[in-house]
Amino acid sequence: MNIASALHDTRLLYMHHLRASLRTKVAVVFGMLQPLLYLLLFGPLLTRLNGVRGFGDHDPWQVFVPGILVQLVLFRSGFVGFALIADLRAGVVDRLRVTPVSRAAMLLGMVLRDTTVLVVQAILLLAAGLALGLRAPLPGLLIGLALAVLLATGIASLSYVLAMVTRREDAFASLLSSVTLPLMLLSGMLLPMSMAPGWLDAVSRCTPLRYVVDAVRAAFLGDYAASPVVVGTAVTVVLVAASVWWGARRFVRETA
C-alpha cells in the first residue's frame, strides 16, 4: 500500500464521514451540551471562590474554561467508537474491508472527521466562555485550541481501537466509563489540583491529562513560555503520537 493511495483513500473517507456529520448538525450541537451545562450551571459557583489557592489570584473562568475544554475533548473523542460499533454491526466495515482501501485510511478518515467536528465544538465552547466573562489573550486561546485538537486525534484513535476490539456497545461503554471518569477527576478539570492534598496531587501527576489541563490554563493566563505549557505540550505530543501509532497498528491488524 503506497502513501499516495493511502492519502487518496483518507481524503475520500474523510469527506464521506464529514458529509454524514453535516447531515446530523443537531448531534454536533447536542454533543457539546454537557460542557455547556458545566459552564452555565457550575461555572458561576467558582466565581465565589475568591481567596482559595489556585483561584483567588486569577479570574476563575481562566481556570475553569480550560478544564471544560479538555473535558469536551475527553468525552466527545472518547465516545466516537460507538459509531464504529454501529458500522460494524451494519456490515459497513466488512464492506470496506473487502475493497482494496488502505486500512490506515479507514481509521484516519474517521479520526480527522472527528477532529474537524471537535474544532467547531471547541470554538463554540470558547465563545460561550468569553460571553460568560472569560478573559484570555488570543495566542493563549489558540494554543489551547491546538492542544485540544491534538489531544482529540489521539483519544479518537484509541476510542476506535477499543470499539474494534470490544465490538459491543455494553462492553465498550463500561470500559469507557471506567477509564474516562478517573482521568477526568485526576486531571483537575473541575477544580485545580493545586487545591489537592499531597497524595491526590501525586496520583494526579501520574495521569497525562493533568499536564494538558495545566498547559491550557497557563496559556490562557498568557504564560506561553512557562514550564506547564512546555511540559503539557510535550506530554500531549507524545501521547498523541503513541496513541495514533498504536491505534493505527492495532486497527490495521484487526482489519487486515
Per rule CB under 8 A, is residue 22 in the interface with other proteins? no
Q: Residue 6: what residue type?
A: A
CB of 148 to other proteins, least distance (A): 28
By the rule CB under 8 A, 117 interacts with other proteins: no
Tell which positions 65-94 bind other proteins, by CB under 8 A.
87, 90-92, 94
When asked if residue 12 is in the footprint of other proteins (CB under 8 A), the reply is: yes
Judged on CB neighbours under 10 Å (0-12, 13-18, 19+), 251 is buried
- Should residue 16 be labelled a site residue for other proteins when binding is judged by CB under 8 A? yes
Tell me: does residue 23 bind other proteins (CB under 8 A): yes
Is 253 among the residues that bind other proteins (CB under 8 A)?
no
Closer to other proteins by CB, 62 or 102: give it. 102
User: Does 95 interact with other proteins (rule: CB under 8 A)?
Assistant: yes
User: Closer CB to other proteins, residue 72 or residue 164?
Assistant: 164
Query: For binding to other proteins (CB under 8 A), which residues are involved?
Result: 1, 9, 12-13, 16, 19-20, 23-24, 87, 90-92, 94-101, 256
